[in-house]
Amino acid sequence: MSTSVPGKPWVADLILLGAVWGGSFLLMRISVVEFGPFATAGVRVAIAALFLLPILFYKGLGAELQRHWKRVFFVGLLNSGIPFTCYAFAQLSITTGLSSLLNATVPLFGAIVAWIWLHDKPTRSRILGLLIGFTGVAMLAWDSAGVQPGAFAIAPVWAMLACLLGCICYAVSASYTQRFLSDVPPLVIATGSQIGATLGLAMPALWFRPTQMPSQSAWLALLVVGVASTGIAYILFFRLIANGGPARALSATYVVPVFAVLYGLIFLGERVTAWMLICGAVIVAGTALSTGLIKLRRQRSLH
């Protein structure tokens, strides 16, 4: 497996995953206004499942999915069904930037869950990296966080709590995958999880379906999110768990806000300030430390 960093086969997946997920917040914001939270999440995972199933069968992994379907479907609810609904719900009242920033708290929850459940005690360098990364996120949030105005606004505090609930689900899912599905091919987990999420969201999505046909742009946004930011992204995510562990996989969320700001500049003409660039550098530095990409040297004792 090739990568630009020798001995770190998960680094390329980490960066690519952050880039793909960075665009999902903007695309979900486009679709949720017309589809609603449950339908947005339900259609997203259904598209991802339809995209991944032919690949799964082409690779001859159907038997593997049948063997592990119960646990894989459960992972789908934790890692897709609940979080996607939570974030779609939140984006009715808070900005895509703020939701992506809250998403960057996932490694903090992930490190705690992995420490308690998997006894994966982080080193001092990784703890420092988590703190630095979260500080960068907090700095960026202090300057750029905002609440969406308009008729779709709900209580922002509930929206933020919904994002944090999604983060906790991501963290538990990553450790669950490491504990019970570490020997299952990433494609099997990615496909099965989207099928499980689709089944779990089918009834709520139908019950809360939009009263009128969404626009072409809303459908296109969901199509891109379903294929790229869900189907392809979760292959990368579960491969990253296998190669780097759950803590490093979840650290991809520290990179997401950096790409989200970049996409806003390119596609939406949003303003990028020097402060945003500084915060982005802090986030990247924290990610490098928290994943073990770089480590602090221990000082030699003088005694």
Give tens-digit pLDDT for 211-250: 999 999 999 999 999 999 999 988 888 888 777 777 677 7
Q: Alpha carbon 73 to chain centroid distance?
A: 18
* Burial of residue 237 (number of CB atoms within 10 Å: 0-12, 13-18, 19+): buried
Please provide the average confidence, as pLDDT, over all residues in the chain: 83
Residue 302's pLDDT is what? 46
Residue 298's pLDDT is what? 61
Residue 17's pLDDT is what? 87
- Alpha-carbon distances, residue 169 vs 8, 81, 110 (angstroms): 27, 10, 9
Residue 94's pLDDT is what? 77
> What are 115-140's pLDDT values in tens digits?
788 777 778 888 888 888 888 877 76
Give every CB contact of residue 7 below 8 A, 6+ residues apart in sequence: none
**How many Å apart are CA 77 and CA 92, to the nearest integer?**
22
Rg (CA), the chain: 19
User: Is pLDDT of 6 > 50?
Assistant: no
**How many Å apart are CA 99 and CA 91, to the nearest integer?**
7
Q: Both tokens of residue 249? A: 């996989």
Please give the backbone phi and psi of residue 147, each rounded to the nearest 5 degrees, phi first.
-115, 135
80 or 96, which is more confident: 80
273 or 169, which is more confident: 169
Question: Which residue bears the tokens 């991802």?
Answer: 48
Indicate the length of the chain as a whole number: 303
Dihedral sign from CA coordinates of 147, 152, 157, 162: negative
93 or 59, which is more confident: 59
Q: Which residues of 65-97 are buried (b: 16+ CB within 10 A; e: fewer)?
A: beebeebbbbbbbbbbbbbbbbbbbbbbbbbbb
Residue 143's pLDDT is what? 62
Q: Both tokens of residue 92? A: 């009715």
User: Is pLDDT of 154 > 70?
Assistant: no
Residue 270 confidence class, pLDDT cut points 50, 70, 90 = low
> What are 48-88's pLDDT values in tens digits?
999 999 999 999 999 999 999 999 999 999 999 999 999 99
Q: Both tokens of residue 116? A: 């308690």
Locate the domains of the chain by residue range. Answer: 11-290
Closest CA to 141 of 150, 133, 152: 133
In this structure, of 151-165, 216-230, 275-289, the range with the lowest mean pLDDT score is 151-165
In this structure, of 39-43, 164-168, 267-271, the range with the lowest mean pLDDT score is 267-271
User: Is pLDDT of 144 > 80?
Assistant: no
Give every CB contact of residue 112 below 8 A, 6+ residues apart in sequence: 171
* Burial of residue 189 (number of CB atoms within 10 Å: 0-12, 13-18, 19+): buried
Residue 206's pLDDT is what? 95
In this structure, of 38-47, 145-154, 187-196, 224-233, the range with the lowest mean pLDDT score is 145-154
Q: What is the pTM of this model?
A: 0.81
Q: Alpha carbon 52 to chain centroid distance?
A: 18
> What are 13-28's pLDDT values in tens digits?
788 888 888 888 888 8
Task: Give the other-Cβ count within 10 Å of 157's Cβ.
Answer: 10
> What are 166-211's pLDDT values in tens digits?
999 998 998 899 889 989 998 999 999 999 999 999 999 999 999 9
CB 121 within 8 A of CB 181: no
